[in-house]
Amino acid sequence: MSALIARVEKLAFAYPETSVAALTDISLELEGGEVVLVLGRSGSGKSTLLRALAGLVPHFHGGRFSGSVSVAGYDTRSTAPAALAGTVATLFQDPEDQIVFERVASEVAFGPENLGLQPGEVMKRVESSLAAVGAEHLLERTTRDLSGGELQRVCLASALALEPELLLLDEPTSQLDPEGAEAFLELVGRLARERGMAVVLSEQRPALPLEICDRVLFLERGRLLLDASHAQAVRWLEESAPDFVEPFEPVTRQVGDPGEVTCRIEGVGYAYRPATPVLENVSLEIRRGEIVALAGPNGSGKTTLAKLACGLLEAQEGRVERWGRASYLSQYPGRYVVCERAEDEVALGIGGDLSRARRWLDELGLGGSERRHPRDLSSGERERLGLATVLATEPDLLVLDEPTRGVDPGRKRELGELLQAGASGRATLLVSHDLAFARSIADRVVSLAKQEALVGA
């Protein structure tokens, strides 16, 4: 029988200045060597549960806390998160925001140094944890030059260097392409078994993590609805939350003949640095009424092509032609809000037309939030606000860069339906790592390979 690593008893928690509980009556136990997948819709309390296990709730966030959480015998209420660091390690959602140092070696060494280890032991841990995640070649690199996938691995190495008994991963694959995500999750499963540590990971794309996990928790509005083994959980999900396990069914829509060309890209090339082209000789045509999905591994130039299509970048080689208005939704729309009210944020791109802005907020389920500050909205709501800001412009060419990042399956389905509903009046270019979603709503999926010509499918 595996050792008990953590015990949560009747945990309830509410963030400061809110009346709604983020977690209610949660009880569970975690054993060494098991991989536990936490599922739930946006705002269901997944991240809060992970923070409670790390002691960050309530120590860092404040709020009302009741019940108990103990990890390796430490009561998290009386033990500060920093003191738990050798026992618990956390990988947060956005790796870019957790980087402290400029060099990979210093970054990975930060945790072991804080534990008070001697320099020789620190270096050993740095090298072994980078090797464990297949990133030993990054040791001397600077963190600002790493790709999203590389950064994710370095952050995982930083967590592993603490040699934790409990590893917490908050949506660790949200920035990775399918191959990268699969490799990452396989690695996590292997490390859990080899090192005997408990791993708790939350995910919005459950298909891959469901393959490697031993146990599944399902949260809804802060309550634990399910705590079951993998096999039992799959049966429960099929009955009670089918959108988490069923393949994403294509949304049926009447597809007529595509209309006129809205964007034509011919033989385009682009390089951010000399001699390292991101795109070479790429051609693509998008017509009104079409939804075209752009897929490909990290670093293949999908975002660059999307920006060229809508005019945010000028082609260095070849030609890009556009007819009508183009709008672009960036990868982190919730981060880039500039106004103090949600309705003003949407109205900004449509000449201050507040009634149209309110209509689009309503359309995206944000009715009632018109006068709220965008930064007071939840992360899911902010993503939808971002979508409203571009849909309200009623563009001829709509370009969406990873619109399903961090979006739960239910919201994803709604997004698919929304994009389908307005598809006939515009051309839509969708950049996505989420192939299931892309295939379900797109008329064509176009794959980009690294520095190679475009292949249509």
Partner 1 sequence: MELVVRPLVALALLGACVVAALVATHSLSLALLAAVLLALLLRAPWRRARLYLLGIVVSSFGLFLIWPLTAHVGSHPLWNGPILPVLGSIDVTSEELAAGAVQTLRLATVALAFAVWALRLDHDRIVREARLARRSVLTVALATRLIPTLERDAAGFVEALRGRGVAVEGVRGRSRLLAPLVASSLERALTLAESMEARGYGRSGRPLRARSRLNWRERAALAFSLLLVVISLLWL
Instruction: Tell me the one-letter amino acid at 387.
Output: L
The Cα 144–Cα 4 span in angstroms is 39
Q: Is position 151 an interface residue for partner 1 (rule: CB under 8 A)?
A: no
CB-side exposure of 263: number of CA atoms within 13 Å? 29
Instruction: Tell me the one-letter amino acid at 317.
Output: E
Q: Are strands 427-431 and 397-401 parallel, antiparallel or unpaired?
A: parallel
Q: Which is nearer to partner 1, 114 or 378 (CB)?
A: 114
Strands (E), 171-254: 198-202, 215-220, 223-229
Alpha helices, H only, 311-367: 342-347, 354-363
Q: How far is the CB of 27 from partner 1 (least distance, A)?
A: 23
Q: How far is the CB of 453 from partner 1 (least distance, A)?
A: 27
CA 437 to chain centre: 14
Q: How far is the CB of 232 from partner 1 (least distance, A)?
A: 32
State which of residues 349, 365, 380, 425 lies at the interface with partner 1 (CB under 8 A).
349
Q: Is position 15 an interface residue for partner 1 (rule: CB under 8 A)?
A: no
Question: By CB under 8 A, what part of segment 286-315 binds partner 1?
Answer: 307, 310, 312
Could you say which DSSP state residue 414 is in? H
Both tokens of 50, joined, read 């992970």
- Residue-level length of the chain: 457
Q: Is position 154 an interface residue for partner 1 (rule: CB under 8 A)?
A: no
Q: Site map for partner 1, 81-120, x if CB under 8 A? A: xxx-xx-xxx-x-x--xxxxxxx--x--xxx-xxxxxxx-
The Cα 357–Cα 192 span in angstroms is 48
Both tokens of 202, joined, read 């939350």
Q: Which is nearer to partner 1, 88 or 185 (CB)?
A: 88
Stretch that binds partner 1, among 131-139, 146-154, 157-165, 177-185 (CB under 8 A): 157-165
CA 348 to chain centre: 27
Q: How far is the CB of 212 from partner 1 (least distance, A)?
A: 24
Stretch that binds partner 1, among 220-228, 314-322, 387-395, 443-451 (CB under 8 A): 387-395
Q: How far is the CB of 115 from partner 1 (least distance, A)?
A: 6
Q: Is position 185 an interface residue for partner 1 (rule: CB under 8 A)?
A: no
Q: Is position 74 an interface residue for partner 1 (rule: CB under 8 A)?
A: no
The Cα 93–Cα 316 span in angstroms is 34
At 209, give phi and psi (nearest 5°).
Answer: -65, -30
Binding interface with partner 1 (CB under 8 A) = 54, 56, 59-60, 80-83, 85-86, 88-90, 92, 94, 97-103, 106, 109-111, 113-119, 144, 158-159, 162, 307, 310, 312, 325, 327-330, 332-333, 335-338, 348-349, 375, 386, 389-390, 393, 399
